[in-house]
Amino acid sequence: MQVKVKKINNFKGTIEVPPDKSISHRSVMLGSLCKGKVAIKNFSKGEDCRNTLKIFEQMGVNVKFQDEMNFEISSNGLTKPENILYAGNSGTTTRLLSGILAGQNFESRIEGDISLSQRPMKRIIEPLKLMHADISSLNNDFKTPLIIKPSDLHGIDYITPIASAQVKSCILFAGLFADGKTTVTEPYISRNHSEKMLEYLGANISVNNKTVKIEKSELIPKELIIPGDISSAAFFFVAASIIPNASIIVRNVGINETRTGIIDVLIKMGANLEILNKRTGCGEEVSDIKISYSENLKGIDISGEIIPRLIDELPIIAVLASQAEGQTIIKDAQDLRNKESDRIKSVVREFSKLGVDIEEREDGFIISGKTKLKGDTIIETYHDHRLAMSAYVAGLICAKEICINDFEWVNTSFPEFLELMNILIEE
């Protein structure tokens, strides 16, 4: 599907952001490990999370739907799936699921789409093997398809070379089935939704700074309410900051401190942002965010421990930086090359076409602003939802119309994107 975007003059109103993708995945995965009924409320409509749900249904989990986003799951332990487990475009599904499957008494196989099949899995295969898991990649290339066979897991003390919530969660989930204790230590703290949900469901888990410890645990069934996704909200935050006269409120935004790097960056760059109505539910903090146009954005340096707190927001931050005075330098973000696309290459290539002054670096990029974006071009999306949505926001301030190819990739995380954009554009 090709989508056309043109310059707008009005961006106003209130929207509620859709459910958090990371927490939705974890709700089904950990909810399925509880013995008993778990009500899941406000589950993501994105294809990635739907694939996770289907996979657990294939392993005997019973789902009673109230509607698409609200349902009850019940399980008496996972059972051998008859078919291949299809993770689609989702690295989170593949990596977290591998940790759970390593501890089951049946063989399984995970595979996905062309983008997923190029993403590195060595980062989870290595620690799982240290735990004595029987996991291999079909083509011996440390990529999907992955084959996982039964084995007796042992706890390990693992130091991760990169700050990755997917790697950390994979090891912690395997640790639920391992003898002895398992610890994971990261160079910087990555998103901690797994730790929070495991603690909420009564797991034997403790956190000490950058180290998380877990032991074999029985999870207690409890209701799981998913907060809104700050990574989806980020597209609206940036649009409101760069479109003259814009003023919006985004409701129900998850503001877990391991995800709020985008808010810190917006404030540091001079955005007009207010956090309203802070509240807590199921161990996660939520708020409403009011944000309006800022004429005086300025470039900043983004590196080090903030990177995992905004890793998914870097493409949209590139758009923001193009409208800020001076240079924005993004460093230590090498792992962007391992996302749904090589996000350093794809962001630089596609945003240059729009007129963004952006330079590729091995571990990030340098953007110089303020630039009048010209548009009048066709953007490719490389199987990458966040690239597509970031280009869309840039299109809203381009002098001439832009076309974005294969916009349907947005559906992997955020099928409601255009509908919500139109509410704010039309009001």
- Give the residue numbers marked as catalytic: 312
| DSSP per position, 292-319 | E--S--B--EE-GGGHHHHGGGHHHHHH
DSSP 90-154: -HHHHHHHHHHHTTSSS-EEEEE-TTGGGS--HHHHHHHHHTT-EEEETTSSSSSSEEEE----B
Cβ proximity to ligand S3P: between 288 and 384 the closer is 384
| CB-closest chain residue to ligand S3P | 22
Query: Minimum CB separation from ligand S3P for residue 155, in Å?
Result: 21
Nearest to 38 by CA among 280, 229, 282: 282
For 241-290, the three-class secondary structure string (H helix, E strand, C coil) is HHCCCCEEEEEEEECCCCCCHHHHHHHHHCCEEEEEEEEEECCEEEEEEE
**Do the beta carbons of residue 219 and residue 30 sit within 8 Å?**
yes
Q: Quick one: 176 or 398, whose CB is closer to ligand S3P?
A: 176
Closest to 39 in 3D by CA, of 287, 226, 227, 203: 226
| Shortest Cβ 190–ligand S3P spacing (Å) | 6
CB of 165 to ligand S3P, least distance (A): 3
To the nearest whole angstrom, how small is the minimum distance from the Cβ of residue 119 to ligand S3P? 9
Cα–Cα separations (whole angstroms), residue 276 to 279, 291, 343: 9, 11, 32
Report DSSP state, residue 162.
S
For residue 63, the number of C-alpha atoms closer than 13 Å in the C-beta half-sphere is 24
Tell me how far, at minimum, the Cβ of 107 lies from ligand S3P, in Å: 25
Query: Using CA atoms in the order 90, 96, 99, 102, what is the torsion angle rounded to 10 degrees?
Result: -30
Tell me whether residue 38 or residue 311 sits nearer to ligand S3P (CB atom). 311
Q: In terms of CB distance, is 340 or 350 closer to ligand S3P?
A: 340
Q: Which residues bind ligand S3P (CB under 6 A)?
A: 22, 92, 164-166, 169, 190-191, 311-312, 335
Tell the smallest beta-carbon distance from residue 183 to ligand S3P (Å).
18
Count CA within 13 A, CB hemisphere, residue 418: 14
- Greatest extent of the chain over all pairs of C-alpha atoms, in Å: 61
Decide whether 168 or 213 has the Cβ nearer to ligand S3P: 168
Nearer to ligand S3P, 213 or 343 (CB): 343
